[in-house]
Every structure is written in C-alpha cells, then in structure tokens.
Amino acid sequence: MAENTLYGNRNEPEFPFVRVGANVEWLQRDLSNRENAVGTDFDYFTSVLDTVLVWSRARTAAFLCTCHYHECRSLALLLNATLEEAGDCHHRLELVPFGRFHFFVTCRNSPRFNWKTCLTHIEIGRNIDYSAPGHYSSARDPSVPRATVYFFERTSYNLLSAEGAYYQSLEDIEEKRQWFNFNRAKEQLYNDTMAKLGLKYRFKCVFEFPNTSHKVHSVMIRSDPPTAELWDDNCAHLFAIAELGKPRSCLFFCNFQTRYDEYWELIRCIYSFGLKYFSLDKGKVTTHFGFDFSKRMHTVVK
C-alpha cells in the first residue's frame, strides 16, 4: 500500500487482497467492458483505473474531472460492496466533490488525505502523491526548465498521470535520486497491486528532462535499433515530436509493444517525417497527402 511503500507508515491496516480475491473475479470483465466502451475518451478509462488503484490503497487519492463522476461512483459502489463481502469496511472509497469541475476519489479512513474544502495547488499535489514542486501546469513559464514523470498503462498506452517539476529543484543529486526512487516505487506498487487483484494492466513510469529530446535524437539517427531497455524507457517520447523549439503535436505511431527491432528503418522514417511535419495540424497533413495519416500510421506500426 502507498502508506507503507511510499511513506513508511506501517500502522495503517493492510488491504485484504487474499480475502477480496475470492470476490473480485468480476472486476477484470467489468474493466474490459468499460475499456471497450471508451471510444475516444481515454480520460474516462484512466479515471476508472485510478479508482481501482485508490480502492486497493496504491494511491492516496485520484483527482478527476466531474464528467466522469457517475462512472467512477458506479464502480466505487461495486468495489465497496466487494469489501463488505470480504468483511472489511476500513478501506471503503469516498468520492469528494471539489469545485465545479473536479472531484477526489479517496479512502474514507485515509490518514493522509487532506479533507479541506479549499486546497492550495501543493495540497492537491500531496493528495495525489506528487512529490516535487512545480506540478501546476497552468503556471508554466516556458523559460523555466521542467522535468516530467509520466505514468502510462502499457497495453492500452493510456496516460494515467503526468507530474511536472521544476528542474532546478532536482539539480541536487540527492533530491533527484529521491524523486527517481519515489516514482519507481509507485510504478512497482501499481504493478504489484494489479497482479494481486488478478488484473492484466501494468504501468510504466517515463522520465522527461530538458535534454531528453537531444538524447532521443541521438538514438533515432543510428542505423542499429536500441536495446530493449532503452526502447522501453524512451519510446513514449516519440508520441510528441517536432523540430526543436517548435510546438509539438501527438501522433501515436509506436508504443511499448511495437516490434521496433523488426521495423526500425520504418520507425526512423516516421521520426524524420515527424521532425518536419508534427508541428503542423494533423488535418493539414491529411489534406496535403490525401489520406488520413494518423490512421495509416496506426495500421502500419502497432
């Protein structure tokens, strides 16, 4: 659980994985149905996954959009009923409205969640297990270097969270080491939790720094494919590329499952194309070539 793994709090009761296991067979089917019904609303399914992670105490809380409130509430009722069947009410979920556009999902008895109705940005970040200053995206100043840690679900490639941090706050070697270790511990905790619940979902944390695009470029211009570890750590950076200094747009042409070693030359060609055109609106690219470029890339490299 997050209380023990991330914060060293050994006094919080453990989540009853063994007792819940007999009553949770329905959960994978339910999540698969919700995933297939997503359409283009990827945020909906990540909200559902977040709810499961909070319920199993892998997260202190999730901070979600109000448009997903009813779906998360319906799942929370089922998860709480499963806990009751297992004879455990300590870890019951609570949905907490926050302002007009957001709500929290948390454990009713969480010793860490801040229940104040008026929270600062840093307090919101602490509620959702952020650990570095600078996560509030609306306050970004392009002149201030930032680092970001992304959490992707490996198979669906859905983005669970993205925490920004002032790069200056990580220049101290010890501070940077602690930030790395904290997020890697979260990754391991999320994956262990999914395994204990018998769910197929797995997560990957990806770090991005001001010089990441240069390092990725040095790999992409090589004729030989990278190692499996290097691909796993960096392929997520390819979903948003353009010439350095230009606005970036997203095109999901590869992921953790891509057979990059077989199609390395093709991936390099798409990368080179992206350096020139990904800063353009995808509609303009489609109009120029006379076909839906995004769909064709999805068909060729998946």
Domain boundaries, the chain: 2-137+172-194, 211-300
Answer yes or no: are the C-beta atoms of 253 and 295 closer than 8 Å: no
d(CA 45, CA 43): 6
Sign of the alpha-carbon dihedral angle for 107, 117, 164, 159? positive
For the chain, the helix, strand and coil percentages under 3-state DSSP, each to the nearest 5: 50, 15, 40
d(CA 105, CA 64): 8
Q: Dig out the tokens for 132 from the structure.
A: 């570095």
pLDDT of residue 278: 59
pLDDT of residue 298: 52
Query: Which strand (E) or helix (H) includes residue 218?
Result: helix 212-220
Which of 187, 257, 233 lies closest to 5 in space, CA to CA? 187
pLDDT of residue 6: 96
Write out the DSSP string of 88-150.
--TT-EEEEEETTTEEEEEETT-SS----SS--HHHHHHHTT--SS---GGG--TTS-EEEEE
Query: Which strand (E) or helix (H) includes residue 182?
Result: helix 173-196
Residues of the chain with pLDDT under 50: 40, 138-139, 242-248, 280, 300-302
pLDDT of residue 65: 94
Q: Dig out the tokens for 69 from the structure.
A: 């409130």
pLDDT of residue 280: 46
Q: What is the pTM of this model?
A: 0.86
At residue 289, what is the residue type?
F
Residue with token string 């109009």:
287
Q: Dig out the tokens for 284 from the structure.
A: 């303009």
pLDDT of residue 301: 47
